[in-house]
Amino acid sequence: MVARPAAPQRSCNAGEFTPEAKGRVDIKQYYAAGLAFKGVEPVPQSGFRRMGGTWRKGEWRRPLSDRAITAPTPAAGPFTGTQTIWTGTVAGTVAAVLAAGLAIDAGTATFSIEAFVGGVWVAVGGPFAVKTGTPVTRLAAYAPGQQKTATSLRIRATFSNAGTNVSGLAVSAFFESGTALRPRFVELTTDQGSTLACFVTAGIADFFTESGFVGSARLATVTDTMLPDLGFYAEGNTIGIFHGQLETVRLFLATAGQLHDWRQDLWPYDPVPNADLGGNYAKTNDIWEVFFRWTGGVEAYLSITVNGEQTTAIPIKSAGVPVQIGGATKPADWNAWAAELALAIEGLPSLGTTVTGVWSDVSGSQTEKITFTFGGDLSGDEYEFSAIVANTADVSALPLHKQVGKTETEAVFSTAKGWPGEASLVQDRLDYYRIPAVTGAMAMSRIAEYFDLNIEGTTDAAARIDKLRSLTNETILHVKESNNLFVFTDLALYFVPNRTIERNTPLNFVPASEIGAQPNCKPFTLEGEVYYVAINPQGLPFASQGGKQVLRVTEAVTSATTNFNADPVSLLASHLADNLIRSASQKPATDLDASKAWLMRTDGRLIACQMIRNQDINGYCEWLAAAGGLVREIGIDGKNRLWLAIERAGRTSIELYDTTIYLQDAVSAVPDLGGVITGLVYEDGAELWAKADGYVLGPFTCAGGSIALGDAYAAAIVGRWIAPRFETMPQVLVTGNDEVVLRPGRIHTLHVNIADTDSIAVGANGEAAEDVELHDTNDPVDAPMPLKTKLLTATGLLGMVEGTTAVITQKRPGELRVRDIAMGTKL
């Protein structure tokens, strides 16, 4: 046997390199990278594997239009038990019904909304809970895309008390029409531990679990133009929906455990913060009274301190000569003393004119008062004021703050000025930012009171409002709490060295990078470091075109100070990390996973980046959507699962990523005795595959929602499939003195070490890949082929090209994992 040496490639952790890096053997990650990682992802230990498939959970909703209700008729009460409380007539499809303002006068009740479809009453939604006193508004909706043609509507209610009256009920109906808009994702893990995926479109929010659609909530004020820039905050049973032009909306589950029973109202700010926004505001003078008391006849020299600045000691006088404060022979001139003291205050460095001092007699012996008023240009501010008699203890001066100077500013959030566009939790404060009225500011709530933004409080736990600078054209887009607080704007990145945030301690915003962040791409933490998507270089007005690279925020520690730098980590995959408009982070699920960032592009492509910090690895790859699918939204839920909104062939789908399957848009089905599966949701002409009882079957062409497997099977998974593709970096000849020889060459032998694989095709030198037969003679003949773990060797590979590469792909669906490859080359 002749030894045939081969160049091994064991690590694939560097992922897909940009085509500009062809032949760049001087890059240390060159031999751990590839020209194509399409549908395959690096395995941290060695090699690569296929990426996951998806389960179909529904679709996202088209815009809602009003459906006319004729003859709406409330039933006459009072009601007992279960009765119909309202009926109405419709003509056409119905997707959702809104029951607004329903109130009862005793006990509790539950109500359901039904539609008369094909001669049968069919539930639209419910039951919804009602309590005495508070009017209830609920939306009952069919799953998106499942509207039904109805002739009548009715509302049935069950009452806990006999003789209950109903009032205030108003009913509206809607149907779906037009083109589906790109949805927005927000995740909610409820207080009961249920994990919900919410997809918001214009006018409505739809909720899904792993079991599918569970309910909807009406969002009448959310318009199609707001969708791209919506911000969300979700915790407990509550979701906040934010936008600069939207009075903040709150969604919350009204009844524990009933995931369909959603209530919608306004975010209960209590109160909103006030600030000087440049308007003309009413002002109040700051007024201090100083009371004097003395014993015996003694001269008095008074010194006044305002905002830490002190006047000289000025004596009380008579005809310009110092005299005793209570002397009878030469009475003191209190009016002149008051005027002289006011003039001395005006002469302090930080003050100015318009301070007045007025003496007034006080009943009682040896007691007088001078009132100092800060008016004119000094009006509207509060001043620190103290007074002391410098020369004797026999005279006392007691200041009293009679009136606090104040400027009546205006609300930072309002219908006229706009509302915050984002919110994040920071040290148990809810931080509101992207504020239209003051774009470079953020408002933090009182500790543990997320709606309280009263910045007039003075305790360390009180609310506060902070600005990057007094005047700035920057817009705060993200706030991220990590080992420090990071503030991302459209122009820069700042970190806050303050370890705790207290009302009376100013925040110090320290610049860390002059590269701003892409809006609606939330920064994320992987392995203890913060990553973010850089904003489109043309600035915020062009943000819809997407960001151009990914940066990592790293700490730079010196003996004197701590600082942070933002370094690009996507330059070697710049062709993938481009036009990014959404980001999500996923924690490792198994030992074969690394921390992962999912990045969605404007063109519907989805990029995954695996981060392994201790190996300095950032491996980019691309998840391919089958059937030309375009990814329109992504998000990670509370169970660390990836949700996708995908557009295919003019249809939409909500899908849940699953690494245990390789089919996409997949559904579980039970064939009939002839092997026919009906009731499928795919379009006519769709190419489908099936995995039935362990056998991979297909492809099939869907017709009328049906495919025929050709034989009877107990159960099947049906879905779409797209072949993955891995291509090595070009192989070039490097001489002993590091010279690169560019000439045609070939890969004649390919050794592929596979694990748990049942479908693989290999090729090289620009030739088409060929399927590799994996069956062994000892495989069972009456069961699916077992997964294979072994070394494959392909010899005699044809072709000869400059910069030759090897390709690993599949010709049919199946499991695929490659531990390592080795190439025998002639270069």
Q: Is the pLDDT of residue 558 over 70?
A: no
* Residue that wins the pLDDT comparison between 740 and 813: 813
pLDDT for 617 equals: 76
Q: For the chain, give the mean pLDDT.
A: 93
Q: How many CA atoms lie within 13 A of 66 on its CB side?
A: 6
* Residue that wins the pLDDT comparison between 559 and 563: 563
What are the pLDDT digits (tens) for 609-667? 998 777 777 899 999 999 999 999 999 999 999 999 999 988 999 999 999 999 999 99
CA distances from residue 518 to 475, 490, 542, 580, 708 in whole angstroms, order as listed: 11, 7, 10, 8, 48
Residues written for the chain:
827
Beta-strand ranges (E) seen in 254-354 are 262-266, 274-275, 283-284, 286-294, 301-306, 309-310, 314-315, 317-318, 321-322
What are the pLDDT digits (tens) for 329-363? 567 899 999 999 999 999 999 999 999 999 998 87
Amino acid at 571: L
Q: Are the C-beta atoms of residues 814 and 740 closer than 8 Å to each other?
A: no
* Residue that wins the pLDDT comparison between 318 and 419: 419
Burial class (CB within 10 angstroms; exposed 0-12, middle 13-18, buried 19+) of 578: buried
pLDDT for 662 equals: 98
Instruction: Give mean pLDDT, residues 574-590.
Output: 94
Considering Cα of 622, then 625, then 627, then 633, what sign does the dihedral take?
negative
Distance between first and last Cα of the chain: 23
What are the pLDDT digits (tens) for 114-154? 999 999 999 999 999 999 988 999 999 999 999 999 999 99
What are the pLDDT digits (tens) for 409-434? 899 999 999 999 999 999 999 999 99
Q: In sequence order, which residues have a C-beta less than 8 Å from that of residue 29 and are 6 or more positions away?
A: 13, 14, 17, 572, 617
pLDDT for 2 equals: 52
Q: In which element (H, E) is residue 57 found?
A: strand 53-58
pLDDT for 3 equals: 58
Q: Are the C-beta atoms of residues 729 and 803 closer than 8 Å to each other?
A: no
Q: Is the pLDDT of residue 1 over 50?
A: no
What are the pLDDT digits (tens) for 192-206? 889 999 999 999 999
Return d(Cα 595, Cα 26) in angstroms, integer.
Answer: 27
pLDDT for 4 equals: 64
Q: Which residue has the tokens 């495919």?
A: 707
pLDDT for 419 equals: 97
Model pTM? 0.91
Return d(Cα 769, Cα 797) in angstroms, integer.
Answer: 10
Return d(Cα 825, Cα 750) in angstroms, integer.
Answer: 9
Return d(Cα 51, Cα 658) in angstroms, integer.
Answer: 9
pLDDT for 649 equals: 85
Q: Of 2-11, 199-208, 740-749, where does mean pLDDT reach its minimum? A: 2-11
Q: Are the C-beta atoms of residues 744 and 800 closer than 8 Å to each other?
A: yes
Q: Is the pLDDT of residue 442 over 70?
A: yes
pLDDT for 219 equals: 96
What are the pLDDT digits (tens) for 238-272? 999 999 999 999 999 978 788 999 999 999 999 99
- Cis-peptide into 568, omega within 30 deg: no
pLDDT band at 560 (very low <50, low <70, confident <90, very high): low
CA distances from residue 335 to 137, 318, 355 in whole angstroms, order as listed: 68, 10, 14
Instruction: Give mean pLDDT, residues 438-465.
Output: 93
With vertex at residue 638, the alpha carbon angle to CA 225 and CA 59, rounded to the nearest 5 degrees, is 45
> How many CB atoms are located within 10 Å of the residue 395 CB?
23
Q: Are the C-beta atoms of residues 272 and 417 closer than 8 Å to each other?
A: no
Return d(Cα 239, Cα 632) in angstroms, integer.
Answer: 21
pLDDT for 133 equals: 82
- Cis-peptide into 78, omega within 30 deg: yes
Return d(Cα 85, Cα 466) in angstroms, integer.
Answer: 52
Q: In sequence order, which residues have a C-beta less than 8 Å from that of residue 119 and are 6 or more positions away?
A: none
Backbone angles phi, psi at 376, to 5 degrees: 60, -130
Q: Of 39-43, 87-91, 603-607, 731-735, where does mean pLDDT reach its minimum? A: 731-735
Instruction: Give mean pLDDT, residues 79-96.
Output: 96
How does DSSP classify residue 60? P
Q: Which of 30, 113, 107, 104 is nearest to 69 (CA)?
A: 113
What are the pLDDT digits (tens) for 351-409? 999 999 999 988 777 889 999 999 999 999 999 999 999 999 899 999 999 999 999 88
Q: Is 628 helix (H, G, I), strand (E, B) or coil?
A: helix
Q: In sequence order, which residues have a C-beta less than 8 Å from that of residue 433 and are 6 or more positions away?
A: 420, 421, 422, 423, 424, 441, 442, 443, 476, 477, 478, 479
pLDDT for 504 equals: 83
Q: Is 227 helix (H, G, I), strand (E, B) or coil?
A: helix
515 — alpha (psi -120 to 50), left (phi > 0) or beta?
A: beta
Q: Is the pLDDT of residue 58 over 50?
A: yes
pLDDT for 26 equals: 86
Q: Which residues pair with 356 in a beta bridge?
A: 373
> How many CB atoms are located within 10 Å of the residue 428 CB?
13
> How many CB atoms are located within 10 Å of the residue 627 CB?
18
pLDDT for 328 equals: 65
Amino acid at 9: Q
